[in-house]
Amino acid sequence: SNAAQVRYNSNWLKDMTLEDSIKILANLTYAQTIKRDMFQKRIEDGKDLYLHEFMYPMMQAYDSVAMDVDGEVGGNDQVFNMLVGRDLMKKMKNKGKFVLALKLLADQSGKKMGKTEGNMVALNERPEQIFGKVMSWGDSMIMLGFELCTLVPWAELAGLKDQLDKGVNPRDLKLKLAEEIVSICHSKPAALAARTSFLSVFAEGVMPENATEIEAAEGGLLVEEALKSGIVFSKSEFRRLIDEGAVKDMESGQKITDVGFKVKQDSSFKIGKHRFLKIKIK
């Protein structure tokens, strides 16, 4: 069988002795390791580098050796670590390893889509959630989103880029992008329904019928309920949204400014640009 396998590097790292570690480290030089762009940035900024940080590239590199891989695929932010792995494979097993680096979904500043930014798209989320999160991506991510996340033909992508360059409203293309992504994760009908829901909600400013609904005890913290519902991925994300004024009580229209806000009655909240949460008190 050629099925994908999930392997945990704890299987080979947890039993590694100091002697084992030193033998592996003996294959890596300081000059090689210090080239890592993150380390260079820290040096330029006058910040400390700790010795244990030099261990990370070694541990990731050893994963290739332990699994005896022929190649490694990763984001272009992992090129350094993957190349260290290729070098270690050659020295320890006299074997080559190809490295394939892929683009990351990031905005013009290099900020990646992720949990911290609150715009990470999970494949198992509801169509409306995926659609809303894609719509929250920056305009600079539109074409990259089409390239990395859809099956739109290259010839058509060129036409879409031309439209952007000529001043078409980015929102129109983002609607198409969101529809394409939801179609892949769910279905075309689900994507069309999510698009209709999105447009009605933000044109009329009403709570969508299919908003996330949960039950909670009276006096529960909104941040905890938001985490429980999956609307946000971390307390730091919720805190950032509070600081940005992006959490609102839909019934009163008031912004929530307290991270420790408690839910004392049945309530509806808008969290971020495109996320909605209904809480019913038990």
Q: Delineate the domains of the chain, giving CATH numbers in brackets.
A: 10-102 (3.40.50.620), 127-204 (1.10.240.10), 212-281 (3.10.290.10)
**Whole-angstrom Cα distance, residue 166 to residue 169?**
9
pLDDT tens, per residue, the chain with 282 residues? 688 899 999 999 999 999 999 999 999 899 988 988 889 999 999 999 999 998 999 999 999 999 999 999 999 989 999 999 999 999 999 999 999 999 988 877 777 777 766 668 888 888 988 998 898 888 889 999 999 999 999 999 999 999 999 989 999 999 999 999 999 999 999 999 999 988 887 765 667 776 888 999 999 999 999 999 988 888 999 999 999 999 988 877 789 999 999 998 888 898 987 788 999 998
Look at residues 137, 127, 146, 136 and name the one whose alpha carbon lies nearest to residue 188: 127
Residue pair 183/248 in contact (Cβ under 8 Å)? The answer is no
Look at residues 70, 195, 67, 82 and name the one whose alpha carbon lies nearest to residue 130: 195
**Whole-angstrom Cα distance, residue 192 to residue 200?**
12
Residue pair 277/139 in contact (Cβ under 8 Å)? The answer is no
Global pTM value: 0.65
**Which DSSP helix (H) or strand (E) runs through 265?**
none
Residue pair 132/210 in contact (Cβ under 8 Å)? The answer is no
